[in-house]
Amino acid sequence: MVLLMFLTVSSFAQKTLSEGTIVYDVVVNSGNKEPQMADALDGAKTTVYLKGSKSRTDMVSALGTESNIYDSKTGNAIILKEYSSQKLMITLTKENWETKNKAYSNVRFEFSPETKEINGYSCKKAIAKMSNGKTFNVYYTTDVVVSNKEYNYTFKDLPGLAIQYEIEAGKTKIKYTVSIVDFAAVATSKFDTPKTGYRVMTYEENQQMKKSGIQ
């Protein structure tokens, strides 16, 4: 009876996010006195829209906007890039998406007893270990569980919502912190593929451009 009461209380405390919006504030520290390209991301916002199997992640910064729209049911995705006057749409198959996220597909978490309150959420600490040997800290809450685990390959095996995490690239540190979790309905049009206004290319074509130094 006591166990049943505990489980009932826990179920009321925990919320499942199957549709809604998550907003992360981004803080960048390049570790250099001179301005760096990464510094342009400081103050950016990353907004995640969720609706069933569909997800959309928008990162808006001083440089421009980049969006990933993904359907975990089909495995297909598109990437939209809007920088200055350039508008680019990259189409990805299920295999392309898995290749793009390969570095984050086998992240393992080592859980710590450390806890911390962040923006009203009671969080637990975990150390994320990537397949390339790199690690980073993540604070997550079990008060919110996202039903679509595929929306972010990095945290699909995390038992809760990542509230704060910091990734390092050389001397540059990029910290993401949740500022909003909204359970309101998201318009289906958020996940539509634009019909006009974008230069369209495949993932393979985009990768070739990068190798050639064009993009």
Q: What is the DSSP string of 93-121?
A: -HHHHHHHTGGGTT-EEEEEEEEEEETTE
Higher pLDDT, 14 or 11: 14
Distance CA 89, CA 78 (A): 7
Mean pLDDT of the chain: 89
Furthest CA-CA distance within the chain: 66
Q: Are strands 86-92 and 199-202 parallel, antiparallel or unpaired?
A: parallel
Higher pLDDT, 198 or 37: 198
Number of domains in the chain: 1
Residue 17's pLDDT is 96
Band of residue 12 on the pLDDT scale cut at 50, 70, 90: very low
Range of the domain at 111: 2-212
pLDDT tens-place string over residues 143-175: 999 999 999 989 999 999 999 999 987 788 999
Tokens of 16: 């499942």
pLDDT tens-place string over residues 82-115: 998 899 999 999 999 999 998 888 899 999 999 9
pTM metric for this prediction:
0.88
Band of residue 13 on the pLDDT scale cut at 50, 70, 90: low
Residue 5 has pLDDT above 50, yes or no: no
CATH of the domain at 129: 2.50.20.10
Distance CA 65, CA 63 (A): 7
Alpha helix segments (H runs only) across 37-172: 94-100
Query: What number of other Cβ atoms are within 10 A of residue 171's Cβ?
Result: 11
